Amino acid sequence: MFKRILSCSVCGGDIKDGEEIYAKMEAPSKKVMVEIKAYLKDKSEIICKDCYDK
């Protein structure tokens, strides 16, 4: 199973299994949608619930 360690881009804390997260990203173009996984990895910021609620 593919497992990637995620961390919050605000506080840098690790995201726990099952934790609610928020992703901030630029709206992808149609061309980019084809490579959405690579796009997400490159362009998205993961934000944990604690930081998002602040």
Determine whether 48 is exposed, middle or buried from the number of CB atoms within 10 Å of its CB (0-12, 13-18, 19+): buried
Q: Is 51 in the site for Zn ion (CB under 5 A)?
A: yes
Q: Which is nearer to Zn ion, 32 or 46 (CB)?
A: 46
Q: Taking contact as CB under 5 A, which single stretch among the options 21-29, 32-40, 41-49 is the one that binds Zn ion? A: 41-49
Which of 6, 10, 15, 46 is in the footprint of Zn ion by CB under 5 A?
10
Q: How many CA atoms lie within 13 A of 37 on its CB side?
A: 2
Binding site for Zn ion (CB under 5 A): 8, 10-11, 48, 51
